[in-house]
Amino acid sequence: MSAECNHNCDSCAEKCSEQKTSFLENLNEWSSVKKVIAVVSGKGGVGKSLVTSLLAVSSQRNGYNTAVLDADITGPSIPKAFGIHEKIKGNKLGMIPAKSKTGINVMSVNLLLQNETDPVVWRGPIIAGTVKQFWTDVIWEDIDNMFIDMPPGTGDVPLTVFQSIPVDGIVIVTSPQELVSMIVEKAVNMAKMMKIPVLGIVENMSYFECPSCKEKHYIYGESNIEKAAEKFGIKNIAKIPINQKLAAACDKGTIELFEGDWLDGLSAKILGE
């Protein structure tokens, strides 16, 4: 190690025993992505794809060129939420992402399969390699904000994303049940291991609001989200209710038409507004 070493291995031309190894993958040369946000959870079925979609729509509505990278290879649902069915095309420069009705760039394995209902029966290394290719081989043109819809847990794909893609922050999604603290802690600890800041936490299916009397009913029990957020030092909290119109919008591919201010505070934090 040189006596003048500043310990910044990224800008160092010398080779030494203490130099760190970076696993970051380079973007396609025709691509530009300014900010990357990963949406994660310790378990499945809590609404990561919904939150990813809502944050992407909010970003696009605020005038940012937005993209969604669907890293949930075996359970892709982003195309359905946006009503995208056409297949991905490409040229000698790379793959061209699909466009939603409002112009959001979308890449998902479902847009590569012959049939949308074909199962993806691949082993872990192939799935992880596919996620890398969605970063390196797709032409992400002038993207301000990219949101990555992650698979549940802390396995191969989340590790691949955090090591291969320069993620600027994560959003944790959970549900209002007693085991929420353990699930959140797993996600928080992985973020700490990868040195990625937690930007906020979203509690999906938090409550049901009666359309007549407007009273809130906590169907899954009283929320524990504030306690979990305080324990892990997470300042931005958002709650999404059980909402029939929102569920229908996902099923019909019209998520871009949603109305609701549940994520406005978190979205402003992510967008830096």
Q: pLDDT per residue over 45-71, tens digit each?
A: 889 999 999 999 999 999 999 999 999
The predicted structure's pLDDT at residue 211 = 86
What's this model's pTM, rounded to 2 decimal places? 0.89
Tell me how far CA of residue 173 lies from CA of 26, 178, 215, 261, in angstroms. 28, 15, 24, 17
Task: Output phi, psi for 268, to 5 deg.
Answer: -60, -40
Where would I find the H helices in 78-145?
Answer: 78-82, 124-136
Q: Is the pLDDT of residue 17 over 80?
A: no
Closest CA to 75 of 126, 137, 23, 119: 119
Q: Is the pLDDT of residue 250 over 60?
A: yes
Helices (H) and strands (E) in the chain, counts: 8, 12
The predicted structure's pLDDT at residue 9 = 52
Tokens matching residue 44: 């499945």
